[in-house]
Structure 1
């Protein structure tokens, strides 16, 4: 009896309690995410305005989150900004995270691209913020909205695969980043649609992403962004 009650409470907590959102709003959110992806190519890749774009994207989407929250206080929970299931989702993510870290180290060793330095520490602190925003946009708004559209019913599998493809494309032209983010988004999408928690996904995205740069991709984002600003 207790186990059935617990199962019911978990399912109830994951059920959307927000006011009904129209397909128009959901599609507009997906389009806005796509435009943010286009902005990445223009401002980060072409103009090399990496930090200004990241700061602007965080502020702009924070304003939208606040706007939606003022209209419906339950929307944050529905999106996955919640802590009640933090440990549960973390347990789901740990095997993937540990396997990823081991894979990064092995690939980095074989490639000769292991470049672990103190530069990774600031990224481990700051990158989860940007990681949470990315998960909110790609997994929360894209996968979440595609999964709940009314005019077309999509199974979870195509929703997850499509979201993973889109997330991978955004990381063009780096082949390693495209491959890594594709598999990351596959598992993240599965976990998110099963049990929403953007904090866990964002935290691990930031940590795994930072380690990925210094082991597999052989890049130093701290030097590329922050040291250039400090040194003028």
Structure 2
């Protein structure tokens, strides 16, 4: 009896930490993501300040995450920063991941754009961090918020499609990146709404993204982002 009472008290105390999020906050988060995307076009694409933009974006959104966490200690799990279902979601993503890798090499072979070098190794370590941030912004805040708006009811298909389109547009004007991120957005949006886990999506985003550059796009992000600052 005592253990049962203790269990209910723990659950009740956890519930008290959960604060309902208004549509206003959700829309402000969506606007924040859109402004970040616009900043990408100006700072990364026009000014070619890739590394500074990534650092500022990570720091800015990390501060916001800390702010929201102080107000609601369950918000991280609600967003998808969780480990309890990591293995299950990782296994769920394996067929798509394997098919993607196979497709990259086939396309790269046909195009003659396979250009693997040691530069991909540091990206396989660092890119998942940026990949997790991207998934948090595009999937967590866009798809997550659109799916839970109170006064605007959208079907899951609409939410996934809108998210995929926005994710693709952010990668304009590189056609292969736009196509790849659109497909990624469709699959990731579906997986996220089914079982939230940003760690898995971010990790695989980083690995697939790094490989995609060196097989399909024929670019060297490591040289573009890091080496230019040391030469």
TM-score after normalising by structure 1: 0.92
| 1:103 lines up with 2:108 in the alignment | no
Contact in 2 for aligned 1:132/1:201 (Cα 8 Å): yes
Map of 1:68 onto structure 2: 68
Structure 2 spans left out of the alignment, 5+ residues: 1-16
Does 1:137 pair with 2:137?
yes
* Equivalent position of 2:216 in the other structure: 216
**Alignment partner, residue 205 of structure 1:** 205
Alpha-carbon distance between aligned partners in 2 of 1:145 and 1:169, rounded to the nearest angstrom:
19
- Quick check: which has more Rg, 1 or 2? 2
- Separation in 1 of the partners of 2:19 and 2:163? 24
How many angstroms apart in 1 are the aligned matches of 2:31 and 2:78?
20
4+ runs deviating over 6 angstroms? none
Q: How far 1:18 sits from its partner (Å)?
A: 3.2
**Structure 1 match to 2:7:** none
> For 1:135, what is the secondary structure of its paired residue?
helix
Residue number in structure 1 paired with 2:92: 92
CA distance in 1, matches of 2:81, 2:141: 13
Q: Distance in 1 between matches of 2:227 and 2:77?
A: 37
Aligned residues: 215
Contact persistence 1:18–1:78 (CA under 8 A) = no
TM-score computed with the length of structure 2 as normaliser: 0.92
SS in 1 for 2:226: helix
* Aligned-pair CA distance for 1:229: 1.0
